[in-house]
A and B are shown apart, each in its own frame.
Chain A
């Protein structure tokens, strides 16, 4: 699955997020699956409000973690996983 960088991903309705110190435990009642997200994945998921373009996310992660470069490949991989697992649309 390729990421549509112009799209604004949104968290699927009904997904339950549980915050812990270094990540999220996410429950998808539609598929009855549990997902475990690290900090970076949490950050990307939190951008999925339906108002942030996917193309803008790497720069936001770069700022959040004070990275020398925007982590485009990592954000792409994370978004692909979130789409594949049905957590965002």
Chain B
């Protein structure tokens, strides 16, 4: 019999988790502590300053075959074979509902951090090194808000609250991670061998709030991993093209999409970072931001 199977029929829903993601609050109830731990290993423990405007209740009950039935009002129940699969399904459903709560926002593939008083985005395609760079910046004194998704709306950015996704091949690039005892449930969060990293679990202050963007770095990976990082100023119209390629149209239509991108690049300094060796990329970003912050007295 599977470990989580239920001899003797269903049990009451006794375990409850309240999860805040931006303006959404989720109450997840289940009869299975294992599922609760799996889910807690996926969700971010991040301070967020947003009023709750949407509330959702999700239920997960163990079934006689050792699987889980997932319930949400107004939807057909889903079935998952084990606790990990059930936790991942609940997790992605929550993200789907959060993004739906921001229909007028442009979603862009970018990490987001603050250095001094300056917020910046590190945008780029999949596998351009965003997560590795943003995780490394945690250890360099930057306040890192997210590694992969940012919502843009009317000139302001909202970092998306999700654990940092570190691929297996990238873990070795951040030796500082080895010094921490990592909760085993954080490993394999998205795929086997990957790390769903929660900065707060590593002792970093992790917070998310709305703010305008002062600088945009677009990451373009060099072929040679050890190649020297190069940073170049980028015309705003050219950065707009790059950001459009890494963003998705909001439900409200293309006019809002273009407006959000234009407002962002128009007030930000724009750079292309041809990222090679990680240390050099960190130094390049730091030198740009520290120069500007010093110049403005920030």
Contact = CB atoms under 8 A, between A and B. Distances in A.
B237 interface: yes
Residue with the highest number of chain A CB atoms closer than 10 Å, among B244, B254, B259: B254
Given A18-B259, A20-B262, A27 B237 contact: no
B244 A34 contact: yes
Contacts of B40: none
24 contacts: A16-B255, A16-B258, A18-B258, A18-B262, A19-B262, A20-B237, A20-B262, A20-B265, A21-B236, A22-B237, A23-B235, A23-B236, A23-B237, A24-B237, A25-B237, A25-B258, A25-B261, A27-B254, A27-B258, A32-B254, A34-B254, A36-B237, A36-B238, A37-B237
A19 B266 CA distance: 9
B235 A38 contact: yes
6 interchain residue pairs of minimum CB distance? A23-B237, A36-B241, A18-B262, A20-B266, A36-B237, A20-B236
Interface string A34-53: 10111000000000000000
Interface of B: 235-238, 240-241, 244, 254-255, 258-259, 261-262, 265-266
Given A34-B241, A36-B237, 7 more contacts: A22-B237, A23-B236, A25-B240, A25-B244, A36-B240, A36-B241, A38-B235
A38 B255 CA distance: 20
A22 B235 contact: yes
Contacts of B235: 22-23, 38
Interface string A1-43: 0000000000000001011111111010100101011100000
A34 B244 CA distance: 9
Contact of B240 (A20, A29, A32): A20
Nearest to A16: B255
Interface of A: 16, 18-25, 27, 29, 32, 34, 36-38
Nearest to A26: B258
A27 B257 CA distance: 10
Secondary structure of the A contact surface, majority rule = strand
A34 B245 CA distance: 11
Contacts of A20: 236-237, 240, 262, 265-266
Nearest to A42: B237
A87 to B, nearest CB: 15
A37 B262 CA distance: 13
Contacts of B261: 25
A72 B126 CA distance: 42
Nearest to B242: A36
Contacts of B258: 16, 18, 25, 27, 34
B254 A29 contact: yes
A37 to B, nearest CB: 6
A53 B244 CA distance: 34
A16 B253 CA distance: 13
Contact of A27 (B238, B241, B255, B266): B255
A16 to B, nearest CB: 7
A56 B217 CA distance: 40
Nearest to A34: B244
B266 A21 contact: yes
Contacts of A22: 235-237
